[in-house]
Structure formats: C-alpha cells, structure tokens
Amino acid sequence: MATDSDVSGGLTGGCVCGHVRYRMETAPIVVHGCHCRYCQRMSGSAFAVNAMIEADRVILTGEGKPDAIHTASALPAGQMIHRCPRCSVPLWANHSQLGETFALVYVGTLDDASKLSPDIHCFTTTKHSWVALPADVPAFEGNYDAEKVWSAEAKARFTTAMQGEI
C-alpha cells in the first residue's frame, strides 16, 4: 500500500480539459484493481483502478468544480460520480455503501498514475483471460474482507472516518 512518504506533496490530477484539478493530500487507504463488469464498462477498459481516500483529503485546486451525477451501478442505490462539467471525465465516485465520507479516485486521472498500483485485485471471476495479475498482490474472486486484508493503519483510518473524527 502506498504511504504518505511515497506521495509526499500530494498526488495531483484532473480532467482532460483541465477545468477541474485536484490534489490527494495523503496516500489512499487502499487501491483496488476492480475487474467487475460494471467497472469495466465505466472505465472503458479491462478493469478500473480506484484509490479509496477520505473525501476531505481530496482538495480542489483548479477553477472548476465537478458535477456529482447519480449513476446506476451493480448496487441498487447506484453511485455518485463526480465529473467535469465541461469534458464529462469522471474523476472520483462516492460508493453508495460508503456515502460521501470516502472518494474512490479514478487513478487514471492522476497526473502520474504510475505512483499508485493496485494493493488488491477484486472480482477476478470476471477478469479478462488475457489480463495477468501479479503474484505478489492479493486477488479475490469477488469482494474481500477488509478486516483480514488491510493494514492496521488502513483499518484505523477507515474507522476514524466512519465515526466522523477526521
């Protein structure tokens, strides 16, 4: 998992047209490589790479503000996708089970996406056969139990944020 020293100075990113810019103030709690069919469709790729971080640690730095658009998903409640109002690029989402407390930042919108690689691969039963997963990264056929997989620091950050103490 990325540490704050790995991302000193924060990670910056934004949309294609540059109207919405942001900075992640700290390393994410966890980075998922999600291979579910929904993420494949939403990303237009073989899988999505999402960095889960406390929403208040994603700071807008540009002139623009994203539009939060309710979007259908595999979950009945859907998600809120934050998109640039000009170019419509999705920047991050609020998962319906986590609410507005956490942002799932689309790693591909970072200026240097190579700084964050997946800590975990999930929903690999729908992974494309030509995608090879690294042997040293945990992979799960479906969802996973964060209590068993996340570091103590990640669990503490998640608990603190859920309690509204951040």
Residue 92 lies in a domain: yes
15 in a structural domain: yes
Q: Give the containing element (helix H, strand E) for 21.
A: strand 21-24
Which parts of 66-164 fold into alpha helices (H)?
A: 146-149, 152-162
Q: What is the pLDDT of residue 166?
A: 45
| 95 belongs to a structural domain | yes
Mean pLDDT of the chain: 91
107 occurs within a structural domain = yes
**How many domains does one find in the chain?**
1
Question: Is 166 inside any structural domain?
Answer: no
Cα-based torsion angle of the residue sequence 21, 24, 28, 33 in order, rounded to the nearest 10 degrees: 20
Q: Which amino acid is at 108?
A: G
CATH number at residue 106: 3.90.1590.10
For 128, counting Cβ atoms within 10 Å of its Cβ (0-12 exposed, 13-18 middle, 19+ buried), the class is exposed
Confidence of residue 5 (pLDDT cuts 50, 70, 90): low
Question: Does residue 5 fall inside a structural domain?
Answer: no
Tens of pLDDT, residues 72-112: 877 677 789 999 999 999 999 998 888 899 999 999 999 99
Q: How many C-beta neighbours within 10 Å does residue 123 have?
A: 23
Res 92: pLDDT: 97
Which residue range forms the structural domain that includes residue 23?
11-161
Place of tokens 């998600």: 79
Q: What is the pLDDT of residues 12-68, one digit of tens each?
A: 999 999 999 999 999 999 999 999 998 898 888 999 999 999 999 999 998 999 999
**Angstrom distance (rounded) from CA 33 to CA 139:** 9
Q: Tens digits of per-residue pLDDT, 105-150? A: 999 999 999 999 999 999 999 999 999 999 999 999 999 999 999 9
Strands 58-60 and 21-24: antiparallel
> Residue 96: its pLDDT value, please?
80
